């Protein structure tokens, strides 16, 4: 008799962005023809540079001819792309070799799969709030342990990100085996300095812990004391895995491309140096045949000097949106954070009729009153209660109109 | 202290095709300039039809313009592609709805991930020999149980495929919870009749077992009593998951596209009807953001009437290769199976100097004597010992030259 894993049944009822989509559709059904502005999900709106689309088209067309046709690229991705990524790290002053790079189809898969490396009984540290994929994948794999009345799991340590700590938690006092860090952060937009990251790297090396560094938003960093890669920090190669994505950098949310770095020196309690890199390689050989060759052809252009220039251009556009969101909120007396080195603005929920709204109340209020979608902070974890995430990935005219509609409709009367 | 999952360390030392690649490179290093024919790995050699490459190029180019740019397609893939796949099933006489289809990036990922659905303690039935991904993913997830001296695992039941049963095992006598079936089979090329599959479907429904049906090679079926989909068999919708791939059908080994079907009616011991479909949907939302939009654009053309015609053309080409391999082996007095509804020919290892070679001895002999790579049958499981898998995916001139070189060099003197 086939039996479904009970871990599957422990998952939250609905994935956050699915819940939002359902409420949006219900709203539109109630008000046919209404225009809803979406500052919720982090999907990009700018199209791709022509040199990237041309390279992908050329790769696609080359598959028509026997002389230029190519099949399997291998489960680790193409050599040329890995070389370009190694150069990208070199330019940042980080030491990463091509054989330490595993090309993936965007960060989500590896963010969810990387926990499979670790033994059951591992304690995982997560920023609270955080991208829901980290916790959900740990729950799904059966490693999260028992859940309490607050929905918190025994084997997960929740590192609170609050106004008091500028949404960057200090290194934990207790021993945690594996810590997920996302900087620039989704959802708060907080971005860690070199000094903060160094404390985490030292903590990890001192405690033989491993950091999972989600660097998907590094492309938005403008302040020079904020590292774009964990490997810019001394000592990180022995304790950190980095996961990257071209989704937000280069508009690849639909094309799908990213990578994961597992350094040769990465060490853990029960393995020899170099072994984790080799074990992940085997895991990829079993689970993955590489991302689409067409996507890889586009990625090679993005990692070229002209490609990296176009990344700066498109991320500047979104950073301007973020600036505009922050300015409009500030005028209305609503505090906000992030949005400086990040495409997300984290804002307190407003007080309406003398009552500070909860995250979902603010969601409903913005949708009802202003026809704007914004992500409820509590969807990213309990410490997100009382906050809203605004995504700056829209077209600038929509972005500005949406945030104006929100502040114009803050009062119920 | 981070600790690596011990399941990772239970994996076979080397993935089969990686081992083959290493021996091939060593051979070339010993004989610089030698031309090695590869009848080993199942990578395709024919280029893609122009309507497919044009559709992909057009999709890539459309991403340059704001009006036609698209982002996330969703973790289940695009609606249009799902509709075409549902039509594909309808044409086979199978009842599959778009919401039962989950687009993936080729069969490998889901073949490896699908076991996550099942509780620990599940017994898995595998054909022996079989595609190594099934067993390796079960081992990696920690569900395989203890391993004995023969490398066999406690929670895996090995269904022997032998000359006596025409490489199609009868339904098991014992109760097995989840059974992987691959027809047309990789590696043996054996293809099950409707009658055989009906016995498996009845077994599964009677025992509340679930079948995982790997249909990646269905595109090669020419005999009309052999179903291309498990859902052509009455009763399959309540007990079978089907995994498909366009890799071998349409030359998509590098482009990456396939799908998995989880019927609404699929049932298991501890869930309500419809629940497994919903749980897999949640799982995909956590682990996957859909395959590349460019690949999906190509897939839509393949699933169109002209696209399906080109699939028949390219699979005919490979079936001709298989026929040629079988004819040449037969002339040399070497028995072979498969290759009729399948791109793989399964052949007994030859007797050289009065000694029947083992699988790896035959591998070395073919490589040394004829400069041909063929896959050792034992690499697919213990029952594959004494056999070799020849892949028919080469160019026909290479295919014929390679198999001729093998039979011309069977003697050592």
The tens digit of pLDDT for each residue in A120-153 reads 999 999 999 999 999 999 999 999 999 998 889 9
Chain B residue nearest residue A66, CA to CA = B47
CA distances from B8 to A277, A281, A284, B142, B300 (A): 12, 11, 12, 8, 38
Mutate to test the interface with A, among B59, B254, B270, B280 (most CBs of A within 10 A): B254
* Whether pLDDT at A383 is above 80: yes
Using DSSP bridges, classify how beta strands B344-348 and B37-39 pair: parallel, antiparallel or unpaired: unpaired
What is residue B147's three-state secondary structure? strand
Query: To the nearest whole angstrom, how far is the Cα of B331 from the nearest Cα of chain A?
Result: 31
Mutate to test the interface with B, among A292, A295, A318, A343 (most CBs of B within 10 A): A292
Whether residues A63 and B71 touch (CB distance < 8 A) is answered with: no
All residues of chain A having their beta carbon less than 8 Å from the beta carbon of residue B53 are: 60-64
CB B270 within 8 A of CB A3: yes
Q: Write the residue in A2, A18, A120 that is nearest to B209 by C-beta.
A: A2
Whether residues A105 and B105 touch (CB distance < 8 A) is answered with: yes
Sorting pLDDT into bands at 50, 70 and 90, what band is A181? very high
Size of interface A-B (CB pairs under 8 A): 289
Q: Which of B250, B224, B253 is nearest to B304 (CA)?
A: B250
DSSP B241-255: EEEEESHHHHT-TTT
* Whether pLDDT at A307 is above 60: yes
d(CA A42, CA B196) in angstroms, rounded, equals: 49
**Percentage with pLDDT > 70 across chain A:** 99
Q: Write the residue in A3, A57, A251 that is nearest to B60 by C-beta.
A: A57
Query: To the nearest whole angstrom, how far is the Cα of B395 from the nearest Cα of chain A?
Result: 10
- What pLDDT score does B273 carry? 85
Q: Write the residue in A3, A45, A298 that is nearest to B119 by C-beta.
A: A3
- What pLDDT score does A60 carry? 98
Sorting pLDDT into bands at 50, 70 and 90, what band is A15? confident
- pLDDT tens for B110-154 read 999 999 999 999 999 999 999 999 999 999 999 999 999 888 999
Whether residues B45 and A69 touch (CB distance < 8 A) is answered with: yes
Chain B residue nearest residue A18, CA to CA = B285
What is residue B370's three-state secondary structure? helix
Whether residues A251 and B109 touch (CB distance < 8 A) is answered with: no
- What pLDDT score does A411 carry? 75
Query: To the nearest whole angstrom, how far is the Cα of A187 from the nearest Cα of chain B?
Result: 17
Q: Write the residue in A70, A108, A178 that is nearest to B288 by C-beta.
A: A108
Q: Write the residue in B4, B45, B65 that is nearest to A279 by C-beta.
A: B4
Mean pLDDT, rounded, of chain A: 95
**Percentage with pLDDT > 90 across chain B:** 92
Whether residues A254 and B293 touch (CB distance < 8 A) is answered with: yes
Q: Is the omega angle on the peptide bond into residue A280 within 30 degrees of 0, that is, cis?
A: no
- Strand partners for B158: B126
Mutate to test the interface with B, among A1, A2, A76, A238 (most CBs of B within 10 A): A2
CB B245 within 8 A of CB B107: yes
* Whether pLDDT at A261 is above 70: yes
Query: To the nearest whole angstrom, how far is the Cα of B16 from the nearest Cα of chain A?
Result: 10
- What pLDDT score does B343 carry? 98
Hey, what are A370's tokens?
A: 């202003």
- What pLDDT score does B142 carry? 94
Whether this prediction's pTM lies above 0.90 is answered by: yes
Q: Which of A162, A169, A239 is nearest to A206 (CA)?
A: A239
* Whether pLDDT at B15 is above 80: no
Burial B106-134 (b: 16+ CB within 10 A, else e): bbbbbbbbbbbbbbeebbbbbbbbbbbbb
Q: Which residues make Cβ contacts (< 8 Å) with residue A316, sequence separation at least 6?
A: none
All residues of chain A having their beta carbon less than 8 Å from the beta carbon of residue B25 are: none
Angle subtended at Cα B256 by Cα B398 and Cα A115, rounded to the nearest 5 degrees: 125
Whether residues A288 and B109 touch (CB distance < 8 A) is answered with: yes
Query: To the nearest whole angstrom, how far is the Cα of B55 from the nearest Cα of chain A?
Result: 9
Domains parsed from chain A with CATH numbers: 6-47+308-408 (3.90.1150.10), 52-306 (3.40.640.10)
Query: To the nearest whole angstrom, how far is the Cα of A332 from the nearest Cα of chain B?
Result: 32
Q: Write the residue in B68, B207, B291 that is nearest to A1 by C-beta.
A: B207
Sorting pLDDT into bands at 50, 70 and 90, what band is B404? very high
Question: ipTM exceeding 0.85?
Answer: yes
Q: Write the residue in A63, A108, A141 that is nearest to B289 by C-beta.
A: A108
Across residues A154-164, what is the average pLDDT? Answer: 97
Sorting pLDDT into bands at 50, 70 and 90, what band is A412? low
All residues of chain B having their beta carbon less than 8 Å from the beta carbon of residue A116 are: 5, 140-141
Sorting pLDDT into bands at 50, 70 and 90, what band is A16? confident
- What pLDDT score does A127 carry? 98
DSSP B299-354: HHHHTSHHHHHHHHHHHHHHHHHHHHHHHHHHHTT--EEE-SSSSEEEEEPPEETT
Mean pLDDT, rounded, of chain B: 95
């Amino acid at each position: 008799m086939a039996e479904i894993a009970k871990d599957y049944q422990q998952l939250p009822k609905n994935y956050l962005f699915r819940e939002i989509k359902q409420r949006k559709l219900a709203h539109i059904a109630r008000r046919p023809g209404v225009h809803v502005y979406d500052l919720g999900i982090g999907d990009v709106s700018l199209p791709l540079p022509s040199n990237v689309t041309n390279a992908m088209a050329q790769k696609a067309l080359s598959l028509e001819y026997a002389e230029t046709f190519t099949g399997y690229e291998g489960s680790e991705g193409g050599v040329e792309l890995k070389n370009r990524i190694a150069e990208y790290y070199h330019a940042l002053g980080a030491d990463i070799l091509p054989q330490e790079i595993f090309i993936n189809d965007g960060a989500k898969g590896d963010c969810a799969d990387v926990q499979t490396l670790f033994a059951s009984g591992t304690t995982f540290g997560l920023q609270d709030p955080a991208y829901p994929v980290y916790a959900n994948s740990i729950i799904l794999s059966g490693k999260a342990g028992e859940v309490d009345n607050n929905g918190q799991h025994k084997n997960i340590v929740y590192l609170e990100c609050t106004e008091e700590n500028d949404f960057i938690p200090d290194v934990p006092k207790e021993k945690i085996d594996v810590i997920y860090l996302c900087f620039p952060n989704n959802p708060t937009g907080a971005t860690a300095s070199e000094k903060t990251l160094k404390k985490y790297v030292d903590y990890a090396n001192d405690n033989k812990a491993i950091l999972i560094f989600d660097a998907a938003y590094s492309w938005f960093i403008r302040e020079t004391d904020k590292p774009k890669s964990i490997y810019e920090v001394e000592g990180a190669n022995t304790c950190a895995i980095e996961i990257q994505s071209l989704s937000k950098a280069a508009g690849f949310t639909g094309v799908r491309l990213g990578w994961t770095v597992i350094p040769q020196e990465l060490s853990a309690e029960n393995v020899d140096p170099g072994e984790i890199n080799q074990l992940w390689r085997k895991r990829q050989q079993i689970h993955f045949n590489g991302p689409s060759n067409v996507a890889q052809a586009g990625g090679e252009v993005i990692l070229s000097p002209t490609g990296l220039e176009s990344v700066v251009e498109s991320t500047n556009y979104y950073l301007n949106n973020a600036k505009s969101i922050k300015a409009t909120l500030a005028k209305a007396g609503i505090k906000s954070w992030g949005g400086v080195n990040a495409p997300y603005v984290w804002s307190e929920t407003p007080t309406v009729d003398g009552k500070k709204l909860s995250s979902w109340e603010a969601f409903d209020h913005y949708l009802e009153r202003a026809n704007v979608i914004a992500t409820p902070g509590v969807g990213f974890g309990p410490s997100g209660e009382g906050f809203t995430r605004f995504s700056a990935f829209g077209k600038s005219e929509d972005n500005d109109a949406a945030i104006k509609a929100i502040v114009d409709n803050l009062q119920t009367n």
